[in-house]
Amino acid sequence: MPTLTHADLRLNYQLIGPDLSPATPPVSLIHGLGANLAFWYLGAMRHLGRDKTILLHDLRGHGASSMPPSGYSLTDMVEDFRTLLDKLHIHRTHVVGHSHGARVALLFALTYPERVESLTLADTQLRALQPPMKLGEWPHWQDWKADLMARGVTSFPPEDSLIDFKLLAELGPRSAGGRGGRSVVDTPPGGIKGRIAEAGAGNADRARARRRGRGQMGGQLGAKMGGPMGAKMGGARRIDLQSRQMGARGAEQWETLMETTKAPDEMHDESAIHLSDMYKLTMPVLLIYGALSHCVPTADRLAELLPNARRILVPGAGHFFPIVKPRPFARTLNTFLKSMSAGQGRATMVRKPRPKTQSSVTYFPKTVNRLTHARRLMPGLAARAAQMVRRAR
The string of pLDDT tens digits covering residues 235-245 is: 333 333 233 33
Q: H helices of 88-177, where?
A: 100-111, 141-150, 165-175
| pLDDT for 164 | 66
- Helix (H, G, I), strand (E, B), or coil: what is residue 210? helix
Using one digit for the tens of pLDDT, what is the confidence trace for 146-201?
Answer: 877 887 878 788 888 877 665 654 554 444 333 333 333 343 333 333 333 333 33
Please report, as a single letter, which amino acid is at residue 238.
Answer: R
Give me the CATH code for the 3-128+270-392 domain, please: 3.40.50.1820
How many angstroms separate the first and last alpha carbons of the chain? Answer: 40
Residue 221 has a CB neighbour count (10 Å cut-off) of 34
Please give the DSSP secondary-structure letter assigned to residue 306.
S
Say which DSSP state 289 is in: E
Mean predicted confidence (pLDDT) in 366-383? 38
Closest CA to 78 of 265, 269, 258: 269
CA 32, CA 35: separation in Å to the nearest integer?
6
Q: How far apart are CA 235 and CA 27, in angstroms?
A: 29
Please state, in angstroms and rounded to a whole number, the distance separating the CA atoms of residues 79 and 77. 5
292-321 pLDDT, tens digit per residue, is: 888 999 999 999 999 899 999 999 888 888
pLDDT at 170: 52
Q: 103 versus 231: which is more confidently predicted? A: 103
109/306 Cα distance (integer angstroms): 12
The 8-class DSSP code of residue 18 comes to S
Lowest-confidence range among 96-110, 186-200, 274-288, 336-350? 186-200
Q: Name the maximum alpha-carbon separation found in the chain.
A: 63
Distance CA 93, CA 112 (A): 11
CATH 3.40.50.1820 boundaries in the chain: 3-128+270-392
Q: What is the mean pLDDT of residues 44-51?
A: 90
Cα 41 to Cα 26: distance, rounded to the nearest angstrom:
15
pTM over the 0.85 mark: no
